[in-house]
A and B are shown apart, each in its own frame.
Chain A
Amino acid sequence: MPAIDVLFPLGISQYLIGGLFIGFAVSFLFATTGLIGGVSTFFTSTWSFVSKWSYFNRENFVSSRNWRIVYAAGLIIGAAIWMLTAGEAFQTTVSWWQLLLGGFIAGFGARLSNGCTSGHGICGIASLQVPSLLAVLIFLGAAMISANIVQLLGGV
């Protein structure tokens, strides 16, 4: 069907199956540990190991910092398993300044918002949290605007 080809030129199976893996991952985490599987808090709680600043040493960060590191390590290991079995190594051609600047702004914003595409996105939508649903609409809209502006400015 041509309409489908226009919307999804690379097909949909990889998106659908990959998404189900992600949903299974978050569900498995919940069933075994009761934890909500957001990723971005890792980038704040890990600072508590090296900074004495009171915010980084809040109870919720210090008490979760260990499992969050294990979770982050799991993400890396899982992608490595994918590379060695189903996929292949991949390196982005997105410019260094886009990665660094975009990373900085996204890191700041995700932590201010207390969630990113996993916490507000997958877990927030899954539990029908109104603040998360609003956050998702806002970050999708903002990202569409900035991605198109960056392209106009000559970014990858």
Chain B
Amino acid sequence: MSLPFLLSVLIAGALFGFGLSYATMIQPEVVLSFLRFEDFGLLWVLGSASLLTMLTYQLIPRLLKKPLVAPSFKAHAATLDRNTLVGAAIFGIGWGISGVCPGPALAGLGAGNWPMLLALAGIFAGAYVQGRLMK
């Protein structure tokens, strides 16, 4: 992988981490207050991020023949099967227990939220067990 490619990924990740922090999504308390119907702000985060991305996912391939530092655009390919739906339900249960999902678990560390190490350990362990159950 070229340096411009890795730098682009790093900048994108940093913008993502900055946005998650700005949106207070690295505070599990805020996420839990959404899931308990006390503050619906999370919908603005999901909504504004998704809508902006919806626009650019449509526009960018029309404006650029290929990505600036890579040969081709990847397609988002989710499959409609049992694992996708059952996995989503299991993910939701865990998300509701902790108020933490994978992005904020990482970003939280950068903002000094050390207890997120526990969530990260849990996510890594959960991903490991899931992988070991697959062939």
Question: A residues within 8 Å of B by Cβ?
Answer: 7-10, 12, 14-37, 39-40, 42-44, 46-47, 51, 53-56, 66-67, 70-83, 86-87, 89-94, 96, 98-132, 134-136, 138-151, 155-156
Contact = CB atoms under 8 A, between A and B. Distances in A.
Interface residues of A, dominant DSSP: helix
A73 B10 contact: yes
B134 A120 contact: no
Contact of B123 (A78, A106, A123): A106
Interface of B: 1, 4-6, 8-30, 32, 35-42, 44-54, 56-57, 60, 64, 66-81, 83-103, 105-116, 118-132, 134-135
15 contacts: A22-B45, A26-B16, A30-B60, A32-B67, A43-B102, A47-B128, A78-B13, A98-B97, A98-B99, A106-B122, A112-B90, A114-B87, A138-B89, A143-B93, A148-B96
Contact of B15 (A24, A42, A66, A113): A24
Nearest to A83: B111
Contacts of A76: 17, 106-107, 109-110
Contacts of B60: 27, 30-31
A113 B98 CA distance: 18
A107 B126 contact: yes
Contacts of B122: 99-107
Nearest to B99: A94
Contact of B96 (A32, A66, A142): A142
A138 B108 contact: no
Interface residues of B, dominant DSSP: helix
Given A24-B52, A27-B60, A127-B57, A75 B95 contact: no
A130 B106 CA distance: 28
Contact of B105 (A28, A103, A135): A103
B78 A20 contact: no
B98 A117 contact: no
A23 B98 contact: no
- 4 closest Cβ contacts across the A-B interface? A74-B13, A18-B23, A103-B122, A102-B98
B50 A121 contact: yes
